[in-house]
Amino acid sequence: MKIFIDTADLDEIREACSWGIVDGATTNPSLIKRAVDKRGGNVTMEKYIREILETVPGPVSLEVIATDAEGMVEQARLLHRKFSPYGEVVVKIPVNPSLDESGTRDFDGLKAIQTLKNEGIPTNATLIMTPEQALLAAKAGASYASPFAGRIDDYIRKRMGLRLGVDFQKGDYFDYGLVNALVRARLKDVMESKTGPLSELYSERDVREVLAKAQDNGICSGVDLVARIVRIYRNYGYKTQVIAASIRNARQVREVAEVGVDIATLPFNVIREMIRHPKTLEGMRRFTEDIVPSYRRLFK
């Protein structure tokens, strides 16, 4: 599994690259603005993006801001033309750029992706929340598809009635194994109070609500979302690479790695979390305490 760093902070990018584990980076306009502002206006946004591309040893995703197919294509061409001399530019295109329920622009992202593929400009289909969206992105020719695992975890928790900042924090692991166990227990309680044939039980509203509130249309968690997309792509040999995005903690990284995702894009703090364990720290302290003087002299 490749690791991309999900930040626009050059200090974080440089340090993470020095560890020898970074294969690329993903950014967005908000992250870049925040990083430029951190420099107090001493650098232009254009120069800052160049520095990111010159630092990262691999693809860097830059995002368009238009919401129509024609505008996204023009902006993608501009980003690719302006910044590809400095590194490997990938253009982030929202899989569905609609801003309302009218549906008039539902497919503009796919149109843009197809056009850019034909022009040889690599794309990252972003804001993917369902396997169905990921399937369409691959068929349109996206180079990468980014399912947002953490956001789906948050969405399911909110459907269950949990409150962000009160019942859970953004970086908390979503224990979908526990949720599944609770759902089975609740279903058992509900079913024991029911009588009648299976056809009636299947249609019972409170039976179906137990399941519906603990998932998103059959998706049990962000990791489940990533796993299903990986399976679909492998079933049909799509070349689109899956980037597990919106990753919130080290355990989530491990789980997307276990399902065989191509890439995980990780915030700086999550990468740091991956390397730490209290027993490793304890072991290092004991090792250093046990060094005998004769062995230490070997290094002088």
Q: Which residues are designated catalytic?
A: 92
Among 65, 7, 63, 57, which residue's Cα sits nearest to residue 36? Answer: 7
- Please give the DSSP secondary-structure letter assigned to residue 237: T
Q: Strands 88-94, 263-266: parallel, antiparallel or unpaired by DSSP?
A: unpaired
CA atoms of 46 and 54, how far apart (whole Å): 13
Query: Where would I find the beta strands (DSSP E) of 47-159?
Result: 59-63, 88-94, 123-128, 144-147
CA atoms of 116 and 204, how far apart (whole Å): 48
Q: Which residue has the tokens 């503009």?
A: 108
Amino acid at 139: K
Dig out the tokens for 65 from the structure.
Answer: 């801001």
Residue pair 52/7 in contact (Cβ under 8 Å)? The answer is no
Distance, first Cα to last Cα, the chain: 40
CA 165 to centroid of chain Cα atoms = 21
Q: Is 94 helix (H, G, I), strand (E, B) or coil?
A: strand
Amino acid at 200: E
Q: Is 178 helix (H, G, I), strand (E, B) or coil?
A: helix
Task: Please provide the DSSP assignment of 265-295 as one string.
Answer: EE-HHHHHHHT--HHHHHHHHHHHHT--HHH
Residue 232 pairs in a beta bridge with none
Residue pair 251/272 in contact (Cβ under 8 Å)? The answer is no
Q: Which residue has the tokens 């730490």?
A: 276
